[in-house]
Amino acid sequence: MNRSLEGVHAVIAGGSRGIGYAIAVRLASLGASLTLMSRDRERLFAAVEQLGEGVLCDAQVCDVADAGSVVRAFEAIGRAGHRTAILINSAGIATSARFAAIDQATWESALRVNLGGVFHCTQAALPSLLAAPFGRIVNIASTAGLVGYRYLAAYCAAKHGVVGLTRALALELADTRVTVNAVCPGHTETELVRDAIGNIVARTGKSPEQARAALAARNPQRRLIEPAEVAATVAWLCSPESHSITGQAISVSGGEV
């Protein structure tokens, strides 16, 4: 088996479900030890248990939008003896609404979680990443960080910010052993997409099957992306051999972007 990450510790913000959990499974299969972070305690500990006894994994209840919560989580990770070499920023939320209907709370929440969370976690993890033999930051953005989508103005703004932050930080760290990249999935089989399907049904009167087909039609391959496909791309970026790959925003979208 490929155990290229044996002895490497990875922190996965938003690791309790969806793409984050798929990344946890993939990195664990490569030998990495893990800390999963989520603000949902029940989901978080269920995810750790689901990974199984053979995986070295612990959990930190953490709200990535809260700088203090993030600092406390990383302090606890350090006290546990972990030296973080990989940071995956996968926590995210999405709310669909016409631009004119977006209220202040929705706008600020989208920015705090999707963009602020990346900022807080990266600042907290950076000293450990710089001290590691090699360090990897992978931000889970979205095709919404590369193009616009109707009714997702707040989400698009935040994810474009994530891509910009990725590119800027990659240049700042180019003379270190730390790389910084973004992975930009298209519509992926996660709870976010299931929520989007529900919104389409409520707004248009389409059936769930029609709503799903409408989302899949944006992908030239006419399908939704699987979380494991995103995780495979992330794992490649986390490998020791990927050192020359930095500042990239890699679309995983069947050719949509």
Distance CA 182, CA 233 (A): 10
pLDDT tens-digit profile of 166-186?
999 999 999 999 999 999 999
CA angle 216, 221, 223 (to 5 degrees): 35
Distance CA 205, CA 242 (A): 46
User: Does 60 share its domain with 109?
Assistant: yes
Give the pLDDT of residue 49: 96
Give the pLDDT of residue 1: 60
User: Does 74 share its domain with 89?
Assistant: yes
Give the pLDDT of residue 198: 80
User: Does 111 share its domain with 205?
Assistant: no
The more confident residue out of 89 and 195 is 89
- Amino acid identity of residue 96, one-letter, is S
User: Does 192 share its domain with 105?
Assistant: no
Distance CA 30, CA 133 (A): 17
Distance CA 94, CA 154 (A): 8
Estimate to the nearest angstrom the gap between the alpha carbon of 189 and the chain centroid.
Answer: 14
| Mean pLDDT, residues 33-41 taken together | 97
User: Does 150 share its domain with 193?
Assistant: no
Cβ-count burial of 206 within 10 angstroms (0-12 exposed, 13-18 middle, 19+ buried)?
middle
Against a cut of 0.85, is the pTM above it? Answer: yes
3-state class of 4 per DSSP? coil
3-state class of 62 per DSSP? coil
User: Does 105 share its domain with 175?
Assistant: yes
pLDDT tens-digit profile of 98-128?
999 999 999 999 999 999 999 999 999 999 9
| Mean pLDDT, residues 86-109 taken together | 95
- Position 48 confidence tier, pLDDT thresholds 50, 70, 90: very high
224 DSSP 8-state letter: P
Q: What are residue 87's phi and psi, to 5 degrees?
A: -120, 125
Catalytic residue among 21, 149, 151, 155: 155
User: Does 210 share its domain with 163?
Assistant: no
Please report whether residue 150 resides in a domain: yes
Q: In the predicted model, is pLDDT for residue 93 greater than 70?
A: yes
Tokens 């409520």 identify what position?
Answer: 202
Give the pLDDT of residue 212: 85
Give the pLDDT of residue 176: 98
Q: In the predicted model, is pLDDT for residue 194 greater than 90?
A: no
242 Cβ contact list (under 8 Å, min separation 6): 136, 179, 236
Backbone CA torsion sign across 38, 41, 43, 48: positive
Please report whether residue 3 resides in a domain: no
Q: In the predicted model, is pLDDT for residue 152 greater than 80?
A: yes
| Mean pLDDT, residues 80-90 taken together | 97
Please report whether residue 246 resides in a domain: no
User: Does 125 share its domain with 192?
Assistant: no
Q: In the predicted model, is pLDDT for residue 201 greater than 90?
A: no
Which strands sit side by side in the sheet containing 178-185, from one edge to the other? 57-61, 33-38, 9-13, 84-89, 135-140, 178-185, 249-252
State what percent of residues in the chain have pLDDT above 70. Answer: 100
Clarify whether 151 is annotated catalytic: no
pLDDT tens-digit profile of 220-255?
999 999 999 999 999 999 999 999 999 999 999 999
CATH value at residue 135: 3.40.50.720
Q: In the predicted model, is pLDDT for residue 204 greater than 90?
A: no
Domain that holds residue 214: 187-224
User: Does 199 share its domain with 73?
Assistant: no
Q: In the predicted model, is pLDDT for residue 214 greater than 90?
A: no
